[in-house]
A and B are shown apart, each in its own frame.
Chain A
Amino acid sequence: MTSSVGTEGQTGGQPLGQQAEFLAEKMAEVRREISKAIVGQSEVVDGVLIALLAGGHVLLEGAPGLGKTMLVRTLAQAVAQKYSRIQFTPDLMPADVIGTSVVQENGDGRKSLGFQPGPIFTNLLLADEINRATPKTQSALLEAMQEKQVTVAHTSHLLDEPFFVMATQNPLEMEGTYPLPEAQLDRFLFKLRVPYPGREDLHEILDRTTQGNANPIRPVVNGAQILEMRTVVRTVPVAPHVQEYVVKLTLATHPENPENLLAAKYIRYGSSPRGAQTLILGGKVRALLDGRFNVSLDDIRTLMLPALRHRIILNFEAQADGRTPDDLLEEIAGKICTK
């Protein structure tokens, strides 16, 4: 078994160790800036930051009014990146997302077809209520999220880096919605559930939003630094037993394996290899954010639910028994030996 270990002393002029420390410091600052606007929701904020540094995208699921849009806007301000928002509706067309070719007139009066970029050409994209758009429009995001480019009229247009999509969906109003296809769900690094704030947090929200002005958000890092942090993240070593645990966990969600009795009973499709990649990458980021330089089993266990809950598809029996992906994953993880 091999493990990717960064043996080079430095990237970007600074030693990796210092870069790792820099990353941890900067992310702590970003967290502080976000906390100026968002009360509580520490797990959601951590998940968003981990996904940002891991180079993935986040699907936020929560009821209206819980600060999803606020979180994305605050994050965009904290990392000093371009931000755009698309409100997905049933009549939204793919061209409305990725752009289209329009007739343009040059300076000499000649007319030609020119590409008019859509709102997807940004750094932080908020796809609000993504499940209200038709599957055709949802699919317009597939290439952008995975390849970081869009193709219009046989021409591919690269998106700016970092490109970070945060999609939201409302779990309550399911009428007139189009559930995301599995292929698109798999492209989200994490699926984060935005919980209701607690008593203390609700008091704090009321105090902040009904008295005086809100604190301005100060930009902490820029896009280049984020890309550099992404490089540092990939150098974090992973011990073999931790990687073995990730492999076991991923395979344990597959119903094809006769040893996985629980998966065979309740799961129709198990996690893809993207799930394992997500766990390792997320673990590396989490280790750095925690001030460590190695991935631990705790990192994997913490990230298991947001990384895998949208990658397993339950069967009818699970729905009939009221089982959820979260409790199934917890049960599966409890049966895996860590040795």
Chain B
Amino acid sequence: MSLREKIKLAAPGEFSGTACLSALRDVWRQVVSSDLQKPLDLYRDLDPQQCSSELQDLLATLKIIRQRIFANSLLRSGARWFMWLMIALIAAALVIANFGGAVVSIAVLAAVGVLAILAWTWRVRPSNYETARRIDSAAGLKDRLSTAIYLGGIDDPRGIVGEQRKDALARLIALDPRRYFPVELPGTGRRAAALVLVVSGLFAYRIHHSPPLVSLLQTTARSPLVQSLLTPIAHAMEKDLQRTLALVTRKQDVAGEQAERADAANTDDLWKSDQGPGSDEQKNSADANASDPPQDQMQPDGNQEGDPSGEARQSDSNSQSQEGKGDDSSNGNSQQQSEQQGPQGRQSLGQSLMQALKNMLSNSPGQQSNNRAGQQPPNGQGTPQAGNSQQPGQTESDKRGDSRGNSDAKQKASQTASEGAGSQLGSKELSKDQEAHPVNAVPDRVALEAGSYKEQTGMKIATETGASQLADRGLAPRQDAVINGSEQENIPARYRFYVQRYFEHADNGTH
């Protein structure tokens, strides 16, 4: 019965310690019987009491040979164990500082090992039958003695067993089996003696000295040769480390400065957006100083476009239709717009998105509530520059734009601004603003991506002409993610900072 079955039978569903022990005992018996007991059963050990009287001399001889075999086995195993102990002592003397403790441990280990060797050698000692077989093999007796021992319990003096026994004993008398099995020291005796000498020397050395291996390593480390070899390597490694540290520190400083500057700019934006009309100019200038103008600059533009008479919407559609027709005037307008936007328009997508993040980082409750409410952006609240979306006289297109919420309005406004058609059709204040802060041509694609986000994903802009057309959505997943993230309140500050730095790096890469 297997171990698993027995455990299950003893206590279904539970683990029974008694059953487990019993099963382990059975397993041990199987192992022992398969390895050791089987030969003993097969080649039965002769009981001298039941043995024929003719075989007593043979049994006496076998006893002597068994003792010699046992002694030789013990010596071989003991010598092997002694060598291992000597090696352990050498290792301990070389390395371990507390040599006394190590010696005591090894002595305990030696005693346990000797006992184990004794027990095992006694356990596997040869039987009379096995000893007879060994004598047969050594003396060339052709299995006479082993057969005689096997038939030792049969008393048949006139039969073939008797003849066989006589034959075996006659052969045994003719030779001296003891000379085939001398007690001899194992072949590892010389090695063991050498190890004993080494251990003695180490013992004498350790009486007044520290572990020689440790001392050797220390001395070697202090030697001029090793120093001359190791010093250049150490210096080089030190320099590399310092350089790396400097690089890391510098990057952190730059990032910190940029973050502080952006926060300051945002704070200014927010402050100025609440000041009413004319704050756009200050804001734009502040944004320009903060080197992230396009998005901010276009947002008010869009607001302006979405305003009074709904011309922004109209101009948007006009521009699109004109582009489709290849109208020169509209193209000229858009190109002119792009040229006016100039270097600001070349700001990368990362910068524009970073501005969105900065807005988010400013964490203004009023601003967030306004954004969530789908109202006009802060700089457009109740101000003429905000496009007066709440004013009467709005067109239907304006109403639609309002109903879409603030983000839609932003996107559409920026989009139209990038297309260069609607912005000029807006208020005069805008044109003044642009004149005051000359805007260079912006790559259409950048302007599109920085503008109305929702529609932008479906648009693809021809960079040379500024024309837009329906295209795949492969342009804006990054922006969508940022914008959506900016609308969330519970983004951790560290993550915000990380995203911000990421886009700063992206921005640097584009430039």
Which residues of A are in contact with B by a Cβ distance under 8 Å? 1, 3, 5-10, 15-17, 20, 232, 235-242, 244, 292-299, 339
A1 to chain B, nearest CB (A): 6
Counted as pairs of residues, one from A and one from B, with CB atoms less than 8 Å apart, the total is 84
B118-151, CB < 8 A from A: 133, 136, 142-144, 146-148, 150-151
A241→B129 CA distance, assembly (Å): 10
B308-338, CB < 8 A from A: none
B443 to chain A, nearest CB (A): 76
Q: Say whether B154 faces chain A, with CB atoms less than 8 Å apart.
A: yes
* A-B residue pairs in contact (CB < 8 Å), sample of 13: A5-B154, A6-B160, A7-B156, A9-B156, A235-B159, A237-B147, A238-B147, A240-B42, A240-B150, A241-B143, A242-B143, A294-B168, A339-B39
Assess the B162–A296 pair: CB atoms within 8 A.
no
Assess the A6–B143 pair: CB atoms within 8 A.
no
Partner of B159, one of A6, A240, A241, A298: A6
Assess the A16–B160 pair: CB atoms within 8 A.
yes
In the complex with contacts A293-B167, A295-B143, A298-B142, A240-B161 CB distance below 8 A: no
A232→B160 CA distance, assembly (Å): 9
A112→B363 CA distance, assembly (Å): 132
In the complex with contacts A7-B156, A293-B167, A237-B143 CB distance below 8 A: no
Assess the B146–A241 pair: CB atoms within 8 A.
yes
A residues less than 8 Å from B156 (CB atoms) = 7, 9
Interface residues on B, range: 20 to 34
* The 8 residue pairs across chains A and B that have the minimum distance between CB atoms: A293-B164, A17-B163, A294-B147, A296-B142, A296-B143, A9-B158, A16-B160, A239-B147
Assess the B163–A20 pair: CB atoms within 8 A.
yes
Q: Say whether B99 faces chain A, with CB atoms less than 8 Å apart.
A: no
Assess the A293–B163 pair: CB atoms within 8 A.
yes
B residues less than 8 Å from A10 (CB atoms) = 158-159
Most B-side CB within 10 Å, residue of A8, A10, A293, A296: A293
Assess the B142–A16 pair: CB atoms within 8 A.
no
Q: Say whether B497 faces chain A, with CB atoms less than 8 Å apart.
A: no
In the complex with contacts A239-B146, A296-B142, A297-B143, A5-B161 CB distance below 8 A: yes
Q: Which residue of A lies closest to B164 (CB)?
A: A293
Q: Which residue of A lies closest to B143 (CB)?
A: A296
Q: Say whether B43 faces chain A, with CB atoms less than 8 Å apart.
A: yes
Assess the A5–B143 pair: CB atoms within 8 A.
no
Assess the A16–B163 pair: CB atoms within 8 A.
yes
Partner of A17, one of B133, B147, B160: B160
In the complex with contacts A5-B151, A241-B133, A244-B42, A294-B143 CB distance below 8 A: yes
A residues less than 8 Å from B158 (CB atoms) = 9-10, 15-17
B residues less than 8 Å from A296 (CB atoms) = 136, 142-144
A residues less than 8 Å from B150 (CB atoms) = 3, 237, 239-240
A294→B167 CA distance, assembly (Å): 10
Most A-side CB within 10 Å, residue of B43, B133, B161: B161
A20→B163 CA distance, assembly (Å): 9
A residues less than 8 Å from B168 (CB atoms) = 294
A296→B143 CA distance, assembly (Å): 5
B residues less than 8 Å from A339 (CB atoms) = 39
A residues less than 8 Å from B147 (CB atoms) = 237-239, 294-295
A5→B156 CA distance, assembly (Å): 11
A238→B133 CA distance, assembly (Å): 13
A297→B143 CA distance, assembly (Å): 7
A residues less than 8 Å from B142 (CB atoms) = 292, 294, 296-299
Assess the A292–B144 pair: CB atoms within 8 A.
yes
B residues less than 8 Å from A238 (CB atoms) = 147
Interface string of B154-184 (1 = CB under 8 A from A): 1010111111100110000000000000000
B residues less than 8 Å from A5 (CB atoms) = 151, 154, 161
B residues less than 8 Å from A293 (CB atoms) = 160-161, 163-164, 167
B138 to chain A, nearest CB (A): 13
B39-91, CB < 8 A from A: 39, 42-43
Q: Given A7-B159, A293-B160, A293-B167, output 10 extra A-B contacts at Cβ < 8 Å.
A: A5-B154, A16-B158, A17-B162, A235-B159, A239-B147, A241-B43, A241-B133, A295-B147, A296-B144, A298-B142
In the complex with contacts A7-B156, A9-B159, A295-B143, A237-B164 CB distance below 8 A: yes
A residues less than 8 Å from B143 (CB atoms) = 239, 241-242, 294-297
B69 to chain A, nearest CB (A): 14
Assess the B42–A237 pair: CB atoms within 8 A.
no
A residues less than 8 Å from B146 (CB atoms) = 239, 241
A251→B168 CA distance, assembly (Å): 31
A293→B42 CA distance, assembly (Å): 21
A237→B148 CA distance, assembly (Å): 10
Q: Which residue of B lies closest to A243 (CB)?
A: B42
A296→B150 CA distance, assembly (Å): 13
A82 to chain B, nearest CB (A): 31
A83→B43 CA distance, assembly (Å): 46
A19 to chain B, nearest CB (A): 8
B42 to chain A, nearest CB (A): 5
Q: Which residue of A lies closest to B144 (CB)?
A: A294
Assess the A237–B43 pair: CB atoms within 8 A.
no
Assess the B163–A237 pair: CB atoms within 8 A.
no
A residues less than 8 Å from B151 (CB atoms) = 5, 237
Assess the A20–B42 pair: CB atoms within 8 A.
no
In the complex with contacts A295-B143, A296-B142, A297-B143, A16-B43 CB distance below 8 A: no
A residues less than 8 Å from B42 (CB atoms) = 1, 240-241, 244
Assess the B159–A292 pair: CB atoms within 8 A.
no
A residues less than 8 Å from B43 (CB atoms) = 240-241
A239→B145 CA distance, assembly (Å): 10
Assess the B159–A294 pair: CB atoms within 8 A.
no
A residues less than 8 Å from B160 (CB atoms) = 6, 16-17, 20, 232, 235-237, 293
Assess the B163–A6 pair: CB atoms within 8 A.
no
Assess the A15–B159 pair: CB atoms within 8 A.
yes
A10→B160 CA distance, assembly (Å): 9
